Amino acid sequence: MRFSWFLGGGTALLLIGLGIGGHHIVSAGGPDQPDGEIAQTQPAIAQDKSQSNQDVLPILQQADVIYLGETHTDVADHVAQLDIITEMHQARGDIAIGLEMFQRPFQSVLDQYIAGELTEAELIEQSEYETRWGFDWELYAPIIRYAQTNQIPLIALNTPREITKKVARQGLASLEGDDLQYIPPVDEIDTTDENYQAMVAQVFGHHGGHGHSGPSFENFFAAQVLWDETMAESVANYVIDSPDTQVIVLAGEGHIVFDFGIPSRVERRLGDELVAYSVLLNPTSITPELADFFWMSESTELDITE
């Protein structure tokens, strides 16, 4: 089955060390025939009436981990994230929010903010948010404020930007010493999935790359996988330490679709008894292989107050 990929929610992130995030997936029919052919774009369709957002919520309540695949610049996606977080918090009480937007060295900054020891402005400054992520803070602010108000832990999931950039330029073999402090062991960074390679290669090609046979793509893909593996290890470690806490992961859809990125790598660490669901937020087309559920927003109004 052929598939099409169009700069979805952060897969092209490594060109600048950030998620591009300006586009949703256009269509994706599945990864079973990764021959680089681009399928015809399917029309956008609404969520099936038999499985509305309200029908999905009770299922999500049973999960150990929920992955919410966003397009970083889409207001509706962030509205949906806060709606789902609020519902899970009210139903479960004990939840944590994993954030692609913050890198592991800044976990203490998130902890201090939740504890009320830092202001929001200090959080932004001390986490280096503007240079390390840079998308409009007000897209994420309501979620961060809700977490502080309700004392919900925030998890810094991501690899330090310096490390992903180094891998993108020089490969995994270039890592040494302090480079290894905030990432999984290099032998756990699995770059062998050919279907995932083919998907990322399409993005690489959109940006002037030359397919996925040369060393430049190999490094690009290794950096993408390092990003995935670091986030997956961060999620898995939290689940191990707090097994009764539901973890809700906010990440670009490119790290979620087909379970290629974070989900399969969390399952590899925790086993197939883990109850986890992926939710793709406001996709422009839907095919079952992309995610477990599809959330179509009705509201695009973002409340930026506390």
* Banded model confidence at residue 287, pLDDT cuts 50, 70, 90: confident
b or e along 229-251 (b: 16 or more beta carbons within 10 Å of the residue's beta carbon)? Answer: bbbbbbbbebbeeeeebbbbbbb
- Identify whether the C-beta of residue 55 lies closer than 8 Å to the C-beta of residue 67: no
Element of type H or E holding 51: none
109-124, pLDDT tens digit by residue? Answer: 999 999 999 999 999 9
CA 143 to chain centre: 15
Structural domains counted in the chain: 1
In degrees and rounded to multiples of 5, residue 164 shows phi and psi of -65, -40
123-172, pLDDT tens digit by residue? Answer: 999 999 999 999 999 999 999 999 999 999 999 999 999 999 999 999 99
The answer as to whether 200 is a domain residue is yes
pTM of the model: 0.84
The answer as to whether 164 is a domain residue is yes
- Any idea what the CATH number is for the domain that residue 121 is in? 3.40.50.11550
The answer as to whether 302 is a domain residue is no
Contacts of 296 (CB under 8 A, 6+ apart): 46, 47, 53, 282
Domain containing 248 equals 13-295
State how far the Cα of 36 lies from the Cα of 213, in Å rounded to an integer. Answer: 13
